[in-house]
Every structure is written in C-alpha cells, then in structure tokens.
Amino acid sequence: MQVTVTVNGKTESHDVEARMLLVYYLREVLGLTGTNVGCDTTSCGACTVLLNGESVKSCTMLAAQADGEEITTIEGMASPDGVLHPIQEAFRQHHGLQCGFCTPGMVMAVASFLKEHPDPTEAEVREGLEGNLCRCTGYHNIVQATLAAARQGALAP
Amino acid sequence: MSTTLVDGPAAGVVGTRMLRREDPALLSGEARYVHDLVVPGALHMVVVRSPYAHARVLSVDVSAALASPGVVAAFSGAELAGEWFSPMPCAWPVTADMQSPSHLPVAVDEVCYVGDAVAAVVAASQAEAQDAAAAVAVAYEELPAAVDLEDAASDRVLAHSALASNRAYTWELVPDAAAVERAFAGAAVTVRERYVQQRLIPAAMEPRGVCVVPQPFGGEYVVYSATQIPHILRTMLGITAGVPEERIRVVAPSVGGGFGSKLDVYAEELLCLALARRLRKPVRWSEERSEAAQATIHGRGQVQEIELAADAEGRVAAVRVRLLADMGAYLQLVTPGVPLLGAFLYHGVYDVPAYAFTCTGVFTNKTPTDAYRGAGRPEATYAIERAIDALARKIGADPQEVRRRNFIRADKFPYSSPAGLVFDSGNYEAALDAALELIGYEELREAQARRRGEGATRLLGVGISSYVEMCGLAPSRVLASLNYVAGGWEAATVRMLPTGKVQVVTGASPHGQGHMTSWSMIVADKLGVSPEDVEVLHSDTAVSPLGLDTYGSRSLSVGGTAIALAADRLIDKARLLAAYRLEVAPEDLELSAGQFSVQGSPSSAIGLGTLAFEAFTAHDLPEGMEPNLEASATYDPTNFTFPFGTHVAVVEVDTETGKVDLVRYAAVDDCGNQINPLIVDGQVHGGIVQGVGQALFEEAVYDGEGNLLTTTFTDYLVPAASELPSFSLGRTVTPSPSNPMGVKGIGEAGTIAATPAVVNAVVDALSHLGVEEIAMPVTPERVWRSIGASAPGTGGGR
C-alpha cells in the first residue's frame, strides 16, 4: 500500500507491505538506522520517535498508520550543519550515554517529555522516562541531562 | 601507597572530566551497529530452536521449509555436522577431569535446553526466513529434565544422556584444612548462611547480531559481530569451523553493551560463517529479544554456603565456602571458570587467616551460564557481605564496626591473602569512613530508631557493602595455573603520521566504555598533542591483528598500560632522532608538551611533529635508524589489580505491602588513579543499577519442565529510571603499584558492591522483627511473607 509521510521535514512516499512496522519503514526503506530495535514487546523504547511532536514507539505502529503524519527521528534532531540539538548536547555534557543503543530513543522521549513538562522535578523526569530502558548508565546522568536541558529551555524541534 | 580523598592535580588532560569523543556519532544516530549494516545480497538466517528442555531428536524435516517462498536453504543439525572441525569451544577446562558434553552449534541427536538449535533456515528476507522456520518439522521424544540446581547435583535426573553424572567438576582451594578446622573448633561465634544467586539475563540493550560476508575468489570471510572479543572470536571460529585463521577478519562495529554476554563464541556466529561458506553468499542473523533470553548466556546461578568462625568481638578467624554452580546445559567459552574468579575473594576485605573454598559445577537443562558483569566476584562479595551482617546481628554490634574490626589494615599492603593472592594496595577504612559520611550514617540510624519507636509501617534500612575485586585480567602465568588456555596480555601500537597526527591501535574492544576518549587522553599527554589529534583504531582484526579484547575490567590496566608503554617507546626513538638533529646527547634532552629541548638551553628545541615528518621523509636519519615514528608494546601484567570501596544503600520498606523503595545510595570507590573521572562515574552508576537489579527485580525464572518464563522485558524486570534514586558518589585514590599509571579498573565495581548493600538494607530494616534472610530478588511478596513468617501477628504475610 502507498504511504506518504513527512520524515525529518522531507516528504516520503513508498509502496509498503501492509504489515510493515513504522520502525522497519524508517530503518529499511528510508535507511534511517539511528532508530533501534531493542525488544519485541514495546518495553524498551529504543525505537522511540516523534509522531506530530509526541513520542511513540515505532515498533508498535504500522507504517500505514503514519500515513499523512509528521515523523521526527534522531537524524532530524541536529541542525543541518551538524550542531547537536540542545537535548543531544545535554546528553553529551552530562555523559548521559555509554553504548549509545538506547540513546536515540531516549533523546526522542526526552524531547516529547520536555514539551509537556518544561520545568520538571527529578521525580517527574524519572516517571516520564520509565518507558525507555538503559542498561549502561543507571539513568543518573540521563536524568541530569534532562534536567539540564529543561533549564536551558530545550523544547522539541 | 598513600590514599588521597580528592582527584590529583591534572598536568595535562589525564585526570580531567573530558567529554567523550564517541558521543556525537552515537547521539546523532550515525553510529552503525551490526543490525544497521547494509550488505547487498545478504541472506537472512533464522534458527529453529528446541521447545523442550531435554529431548531426543527423532527427525528433522526441512522439506516444507525449502518449499517456502524466498527460501534458499534449510539444514538440520545432522546435515551441518560436517561443517564443524571441533565442538563449540570452552577455553577454561578448570580441572583435568572436567566433564564436558558434546556441543555442536546445531544439535544432532539430543537437545538439552529450551532454545538449543535444531535447524537453520536461510531466505532472501527476514520475514521469509521466519515463515519457513515455522515450517520445519521436528519430531522429539521428550526426556526428563534436570532443572533445579540442587536436584541436578543429586543426579536424580541426568541433563545429558551421554554423561553418567551432572557433575562437571569439583574445584578446591584449601591451603590449610587443619587451620580452618582449628578455627571453627575454637570459635566463640559461628555463622552459617545459605544464599541463592538467582540466574540473571544480561540484557544488553542491543541484541546480538552477526553478518558474514565471503570475499570473492576464495578470499577471506569478513565476520561482523556484536561481540566484545573480535580477536578471541577469530581464533575460535577458525578452529571450530576449520577455516584458516588468517582468512577470517572479525569486525565489531558499534556494539550496544555486553556485560559479558558478548564475551562468548556463539552458535549463530559459527552458523553464519558455515552457511556463508556453503552458500557463497553473505549470511546475516539478528537476534530477537525473546530469543536472546534463551540463546544468549545467563549469569550467576549458584547456591552458596558460607561459614564464618569468629571470636566474641566478631573478629573472623576462618571462612569456609561450598558452592554449587549452575553451568546450564553446556560449557560456553569460560563457563566453568566463572566461579573461580570469585574463589579467591570470599574473605572479602577482611584479614582472615584461614580459608577453604570448594565449588562443584553442575549441568542443568537450562541456557548455559557464563561471565556476566563481575563474573564470580559479585557472588563472592554478596556471600561475605551478607554473612558479615549476620555476624554483626549475632554479636549485637553495628555492621560498620564489625567491618572495621576485620579490615585488612592499610599498613599491611601488599597483602598476602589466605587464598594465595597478593592484594596490591588498599585503604578500606578510608573508603568506609567516606561512604558513611556521604550518606550521613549516624543520622540515618537515629531516624531508623525513631520510625521503629513510632511503630511506622514504612521502616528504614541501611545496608553496607565493603568490597574488593580482582581486576585487570590477567597475569598469563596465573591464568596458566588456573588451566585457562590463553594468556592475559594486551597489545598496542602508537604511530605518528607525517602531519603530526597520531594513530593508536589497541587490542581492547569497546562497547560503551569510552576507550577512544581514554586512550587518546593517555597518548595526548605522552606526546603533547590534543586528544582530537589521536585516532584510535580498534575492533577490527585487519587493523588490530593482536589483542585479547575487553572483559574483566582489564582494558585500562592492561590495554591502557600497553598503549602507555608503546608511546614511551615511540618517544625513545624520537629522542634519538632529536639528539641527532640538535647535535646533543639523548640524555641531555627533556620532553615537555611534545617538545624536546636541551636542558639548560631551552631555545634549542624540536617538536615531535617535526620529528615525525623527518622520520617519514627519512632524508636524514642517524645511521641505522629505520624510517617513521612507530612503536608497539605487548603488556602482560605482573599481578591483578584490586579496586575496592564501600557502598551504602538506604531503603524504605512498607511492612503492609512488602514494597521496597531504594531511596538513597552512596558509593565510595577506589580504582587507583583515574584517567577520566566522568567515565568512572558513569561506570559506577550503571554498575550499581545492575547490582540493584539483581537485589530487587531480576530473575530468569524456569518452570518445573525447564521452560523459561521470563523471555521479555515485561517478565524480566530490567530496572527503569522511576525505580531508582540518584546516587552520591565519592572516591578515594590509592594507586596500584602493579602498573606504571597506577590504575585499577572500574567496570564491575558497582555491580559487585550494590547487590549485598541493597539486600543488607532490606534485612536491616526488618531485623528487629526477626527477619534474617530474604531470597533475591527481594520482591514485595517475599518481603511481606518474611515479615509474617518471622513475627506472626505483626501485620505481615504468612
């Protein structure tokens, strides 16, 4: 079936299998491999992207369901000249990543969270990110990075 | 060795919190994990796995799979048996009489755990391969399964029909049995505890993946794998699949965490290689999460019995330990050796004269176990730190005071341990003091008493864990004495390019640790260049042919030392060239910030960059000097390193629901000198949470038939941010005398320390109710039942 979707500001149109999940559309059809697959039960959040500015787990929706919508992936966060988005920069400044596999999904989850909670408490950050698992950082520095990004007023793109 | 409480002054970049150079690629989604690699024409492999824990394979019929759309090939274990030149490798036959069952990448006659491979299907797409795999018809005759570890040890049910016993080996470390007997006979107080180390699923966020690309015209095989051990893997793939080693190039691209689970040689790596060889096409495999739960190794899996003999003041005179260790169905790369990595540490940080350790490795019909973050050392630390708390309760003393009474004193280092090691350096009391101050120990004890007095239903518990670990694996001669078949050295090359830029080649293989950052910091300070001018080459056997990879907190103390030594050798050569150019004696030159200058005549100087260019042009070199500035070093450590510290956990326990909240956590770690404290912090944070996971949340649960019930993240509870507090970190610095940089290692410390700290805290919260032991993971139900069992009528469960 034909799917037309705006991804990182660019309109894409492809004929895809009806059963194709959004994450595989992004990874295999568009070649946007920054969005990772870490589980098969919508638990880990490695595949988190923004759908019309709100975080969704792209392993849990069909590409067809994104027809006519706007998607932002991790590849769309930095500016075209390579300057990291303030959330990405906060993760770097606060050592909020190690192996990096959960990181794209985590950054997207933070972007969506901060849009809804521009001035969060630590407890709100922890609750807000509980759908995204990280096995390396123990979350400490991810929370610090999120709070720092909030202080800088880093909203979603 | 002196201990300081603050980071030492940083002359260059070493010791600073330099931001990681790895991060921009990872943060922007540009990093490439194995699943991200685009390989034109690659076929997709799916493995058909046994649904039975133990069964005879009567027949495997792949005909329907072969007729399925898109399928290129499908093979049973029998059809692939000719591909293997030797069985799946185990590099650690711990005893001469160790039993090991036949283990091929795909089973032929008998399957021995749920997840054991029975067939492989290859198709043009992943979906087609999956559909075809479901069409493979396998007839099984189910056999009784040995599931429970202690039951398996009784040989009531055999895990392998070809073996007469489930016992893999018994390994003993009993330096002086009579001394242990005497200590127990003369003890005023004894403690005897039994702990169960539940099985854990490592759960690196990136599942495993492999892609093998055969080069044309009988060329080499390029093996892309999500592995921690590209070098070891290359050798083992060559031996097992019968491919000459030099025709295998292993590349570990970005690797999404390992924690020991990617420190192995797996059936799928061998299968992709053999199928690529057979089909002359690239073959790839991507693990699914629920598949990973069964097909990737598990950690822990021990039943521990620990006894302490002490005097009336709680001074421990002897420690006696008996372990049963669950091997799972087969011996993977270092499965039998994992308990031995803890065997030397069951006396912990305490000066205990008499020591006895015995471990029996037992086969069960479950996923094989192997090294998981800490590997043997978390288990050892858990047992001694829980037992010390039990001793403190028995004599009515504060657990921190009992620790103090038993610590190996700072003036006793280097310390000859009762298990036969030499602990390099330590100051255990300083770390304990710092941790207690950081957490506010006295105030917590007052608050705890207050809540108890008020009859509060949310009780406070404080748990202490003082640990020491042996890291920096490992001196090769020691590994020989433990029957490990390889060495423990690491290799490095440092070269300067004509433009003055630097390349570092390392045999270490990072998967999240930030090696590119740390290695470039070390070399930047040595050569007086910016870290950004240092390129670090790793994880590809074509560019880094020599190495023993990353595990056991070894990368800095062994691999980093090799880099520092190689840089020193490069400087030695550069000094000769500088002396020639400046027409002085080499010993008259001093090196500072990358400039050789003549002592007493600083205007006469030449920089390393200039020398690199001159060594490259080779127009005017001293007689006999080879062109270029490049040096290599292979470092074999003379001893392990022994990081240590004290962690303190504070929990609130709800006596009405059994819920445990970890509310505060302080960690004071001493990993010797630090290259980058920012990275050290991150390692500690992550390590703590993996330890907390074992204490409170994680368990690979099997039913009585050997079915794994926790195959997804909805059943296997990897901790989330909402279940954790932020951590208070402190550090003492006691350099290691064992290596020139004085470093120790930090990758496993948090995991080693955290589990007993948290469980001690829960038991501490409930100790006045008579609770002494709660099995891990300490779930609300277990807590609630333990309250009821210990103090009927107090409101808890029954």
Chain B neighbors of A39, CB-CB under 8 A: 289, 712-713
* Chain A to chain B Cβ contacts (< 8 Å): 178
Mean pLDDT value of segment B120-135: 97
| A58 close to B (CB below 8 A) | no
Mean pLDDT value of segment B479-489: 95
DSSP secondary structure letters along B490-544: EEEEEEE-TTS-EEEEES---SSS-HHHHHHHHHHHHHT--GGGEEEE-SBTTT-
Burial profile B302-325: b = 16 or more Cβ within 10 angstroms, e = fewer: bbbebbbbbeeebbbbbbbbbbbb
Residue-wise pLDDT tens digits, B393-405: 999 999 999 999 9
| B726 close to A (CB below 8 A) | yes
How high is the mean pLDDT of chain A?
Answer: 96
Is the predicted pLDDT of residue B791 greater than 80, yes or no? no
Best of A83, A132, A140 to substitute, by most chain B Cβ atoms within 10 angstroms, is A140
Q: How far is A44 from chain B (nearest CA, A)?
A: 7
Q: What is the dihedral of CA B577, B580, B586, B590, to 10 degrees?
A: -70
Q: Which CATH code is given to the segment(s) A2-75?
A: 3.10.20.30
Residues 5-34 of B with CB under 8 A from A: 19-20, 22-33
pLDDT band at B2 (very low <50, low <70, confident <90, very high): low
Q: Report yes or no on whether pTM surpasses 0.95.
A: yes
Question: Which residue among B25, B722, B724 sits closest to A138, beta carbon to beta carbon?
Answer: B724
Q: Are the C-beta atoms of residues B665 and B649 closer than 8 Å to each other?
A: yes
Q: Where is B293: in which H helix or E strand?
A: helix B289-295
Q: Do A97 and B19 touch (CB under 8 A)?
A: no
- Comparing alpha-carbon positions, the chain B residue that sits nearest to A39 is B289
In sequence order, which ranges of B375-440 are alpha helices (DSSP H)? Answer: 377-395, 399-406, 428-439
Rounded Cα distance between B107 and B542, Å, is: 32
- Comparing alpha-carbon positions, the chain A residue that sits nearest to B289 is A39
Rounded Cα distance between B338 and B164, Å, is: 24
Weakly modelled stretches of chain A, pLDDT under 70: 154-157
- The helix/strand/coil state of B439 is helix
Q: Where are the strands (E) in chain A, listed by range?
A: 2-7, 10-15, 48-51, 54-57, 70-72
Is the predicted pLDDT of residue B635 greater than 60, yes or no? yes
Mean pLDDT value of segment B91-101: 97
Of B497, B698, B462, the closest CA to residue B609 belongs to: B497
Mean pLDDT value of segment B213-239: 95
What are the domain boundaries of chain A?
2-75, 86-151
Q: Do B29 and A74 touch (CB under 8 A)?
A: yes
| B716 close to A (CB below 8 A) | no
Mean pLDDT value of segment B95-107: 97
Looking at residue A156, what is its pLDDT?
A: 46
Q: Do A142 and B721 touch (CB under 8 A)?
A: yes
How high is the mean pLDDT of chain B?
Answer: 96
Count CA atoms within 13 Å of residue B706 on its CB side.
31
Q: In what order do the strands lie in the sheet with B502-506?
A: B534-537, B502-506, B490-496, B629-635
Q: Note the ipTM here.
A: 0.98
CA B631 to chain centre: 30
Residue-wise pLDDT tens digits, B420-440: 999 999 999 999 999 999 999
Structure tokens of A22? Answer: 């959004």
Rounded Cα distance between B572 and B588, Å, is: 13
Q: Do A39 and B289 touch (CB under 8 A)?
A: yes
Looking at residue B331, what is its pLDDT?
A: 98
Looking at residue B219, what is its pLDDT?
A: 79
Burial profile B91-107: b = 16 or more Cβ within 10 angstroms, e = fewer: bbbbeeebbbbebbbbb
Residue-wise pLDDT tens digits, B28-52: 999 999 999 999 999 999 999 999 9
Looking at residue B797, what is its pLDDT?
A: 43
Looking at residue B792, what is its pLDDT?
A: 54
The larger pLDDT score, comparing residue B600 to residue B413, is at: B413
Q: Where is B363: in which H helix or E strand?
A: strand B354-363
Q: Which CATH code is given to the segment(s) A86-151?
A: 1.10.150.120
Mean pLDDT value of segment B534-539: 98
Residue-wise pLDDT tens digits, B496-520: 999 999 999 999 999 999 999 999 9
- The helix/strand/coil state of B782 is helix
DSSP secondary structure letters along B554-584: -IIIIIIHHHHHHHHHHHHHHHHHHHHHHTS
Report the percent of chain B where pLDDT is more than 90: 96
Domains A2-75 and A86-151 share a fold: no
